[in-house]
Structures are given as structure tokens and as C-alpha cells.
Amino acid sequence: MPKISVIIPVYNVEKYLRECLDSVLNSTLEDIEVIVIDDGGKDGCPEIIDLYAKKDSRIVPIHKENGGYGQACNLGIDLAKGEYIAIVEPDDYIDKNMYSDLYNIAVRNDASVVKSKYIENYDLQMCSFQKVMPNQGFCPPEGVFTINDFPEFLSIHPSIWSCIYKKDFLDKNKIRFLEIPGAGWSDNLFQVQTLCLADRIVFTDKAYYYWRKLFLDDSLALKDFTIPINRTLEIHNWLNSQNIDNIKISTFLLKRELSYLKTIHKIIKFSQISEYKSLLEKYFAIPDVERAANQPEITEKERKFYNLLKKRTESVIIKDKIKFFVSNIIKFRFGKNSKYLYIFGICILRR
């Protein structure tokens, strides 16, 4: 039995795939299987996958018709023979010590989930920079814990690829991805399910995973404003179906959900506001959302945004769109060794 089965769902990422595969195959943990799933790509990815499979017997190449990120990941989990499961997105790459370190932590603590920090790897048009996430103020307990001990996990990016998961744990709890077209944010529910059902979570503050970001602002990558809200509704439906009634879980989810709504306001068209308000009505009808909005962990700024959105949706959207436009006309960013100038979100100068 391999120690870890690494699942890589691939779709039209020819430019980055070799770097991804090389990083996984160079892992200091050699006892792995690498399930690479070609999800009906139209570029050179199928040929690259087969070429690598001929060179390294640890690669299990799968070619299938396009079914989306969630379906590809589920196929990989079903086929996996490893003790633990890991997921790598094909335009990202990992540190060579990631899986050896996480596996040793998992075995030492009999963990269901081991999670690490990760690196936001900004690969922009004219410049690049990196930063470790979550930031230094994010301090989970040392040793083994559950989500009830540290619900703050649910306020940050799902980052499901910065983890390894015990295969038996996923199978026993029937945890799989939503099978929806494209990527579709199917990782959001998967993150909530794994963290809420795991009885042994361990966190390390070392960062191993390089998450490639092609946009400075996340809103530029969001093509369909309904996706974040639909995933949010599905999460709350699942929590209700599992009788998980922990107000702190709902509170830290709310913090993330409000940031999603802010992102939506940057891209939504005025012709879509009616549909948006209809989805918001479903969201605000969730009892735990209203309770969470009054918890002390919700900042005054977050609470104000929440209350305004309930009463005057159109005015909040207009205000946010103007603010986004003005803030992105000219923006400076200062790194440790470089300075960057952006105009309308595009880096035009690095010094």
C-alpha cells in the first residue's frame, strides 16, 4: 500500500503541468502513487501525462471525457490505494518535503487530517511575488484538535490541497466532491465536511504548497457570481442534515461568506441584481446566519455590511463597485525586495 495517493485533476494546463509533475515526483517521500486524471483536455496535457507515465511507474494515467474538477477528484479517490490522500492542482507545485513531513505528522498523531500553511504564488503579467498564508495571526492549537476547538479554520480559503486526508476517514464518512461543471468551487463543501467530521486534526505552520494566482484581485478570476452563493447554500444544507449546530462554526463561515459577497459586488452586472437578490433571500433565510451576525467575532465593519446588504442591496453594490474601480486605477505594492505599480489591476512596473 502506498503511503500517499496524490490526485492531480488535469484540464488544459499544458504550460504548467511539467513543473507540477516534477515537483510531486521529486518528493522525498518516494512511496507514493500519483493518479493523474486527464479530464478531456484539448491541449498537449494528455501526451505529457503519458510521457511521464512511461518514465515513472508510480504514475497512474487516466483519460476521460470532461466531467469537471469534482468528478475527476472523486475518480481519483475511488481508485486510490494509499493510506492517505493528497490533491495537487495541475498549475501549482509543491516543496519536495511536503508529503514526507505531513505523513510523519499524520502517523505520529493518528490524524484524520493534517493541514499546513501554503504560499500564494502570484504569477502576474509583468511581475511575481509570494506570501505565506494564513498570516502570522492564525494560531491553531498545538497537537491534535477538532473544528470545535478552532472553528477559525472555516473563515479562511479552503486550501484543500495544503492537506493530506486519511483514506479510511473519507470512505467511512462518504466524503466526496460535488460533481458540477468546471471547477465550480467544489472544494468549499469538501473542506467543511472534512474538518467538521474529523476527530483528529493536526496543523503545521510550515508552508509547502505553491498556489499559483494569475490575478492580483480574486474577483477577476470569478466568472459566475452565482457559484459562491450556491456553494454556501449547499454547505448550510449539509450542516443542517448532519445536525451540526455550533454557532461558532456558523460565525467563522459567515466571515468568509461576507468576503465572497464583497467579491461578487466587483463583477456583478446591474442586469443580474434581481437574480442576486433572489439568491440572497435564500441565504438570509438560514437561521444560523442571522445568529452568527450578532456574535462578538463579527467585526463592526462586517456587521454593518451584513445589515446594509439585507436592507439596501443595490446601494451596497453600487458603493462597492465604485470603491473597487477607484482603488484599482493606481495601486502600489511594496515587497521585501521590490516595488510594484498596478493600473486597473495589471502590474506595469517592477523595481
Query: Residue 284 falls within a domain, yes or no?
Result: yes
Antiparallel, parallel or unpaired: β 84-87 and 163-166: antiparallel
Over pLDDT 90: what percentage of the chain? 72
| Same domain as 233, residue 193 | no
CATH value at residue 165: 3.90.550.10
Q: pLDDT digits over 101-150, tens only?
A: 999 999 999 999 999 999 999 887 666 778 899 876 788 888 999 999 99
Question: Which three three-digit cell numbers place residue 333?
Answer: 505594492
- Give strand pairing partners of 5: 33, 85
Domain that holds residue 167: 4-217
Sorted by sequence, the CB contacts under 8 Å of residue 178 that are 6+ apart come out as: 70, 184, 186, 189, 190, 231, 234
| Same domain as 107, residue 188 | yes
Beta strand extents in the chain (DSSP E only): 4-10, 32-39, 59-64, 84-87, 93-94, 113-123, 128-133, 163-166, 201-213, 331-334, 339-343, 346-350
Q: pLDDT digits over 241-280, tens only?
A: 999 999 999 999 999 999 999 888 878 888 888 899 899 9
CA dihedral 99, 104, 110, 112 (to 10 degrees): -10
For residue 347, is pLDDT > 80?
A: no
CA 153, CA 144: separation in Å to the nearest integer?
Answer: 14
| Same domain as 261, residue 172 | no
CA triple 62-64-66, angle to 5 deg: 130
Segment 18-30 shows an average pLDDT of 98
Query: Residue 337 falls within a domain, yes or no?
Result: no
The closest of 83, 89, 87 to 106, measured between CA atoms, is 83
| Same domain as 287, residue 168 | no
| Same domain as 274, residue 191 | no
Structural domain count of the chain: 2
Task: Identify the domain boundary among 184, 217, 250.
Answer: 217
**Reported confidence tier of residue 345, pLDDT bands at 50, 70, 90:** low
> What is the phi/psi pair of residue 337, to 5°?
-125, 0
CA 297, CA 293: separation in Å to the nearest integer?
Answer: 9
For residue 324, is pLDDT > 80?
A: no
| Same domain as 175, residue 43 | yes
Instruction: Output the average pLDDT for the chain.
Output: 90
Nearest-10 crossing angle of helices 247-267, 226-241: 170
**What pTM, to 2 d.p., does this model score?**
0.91
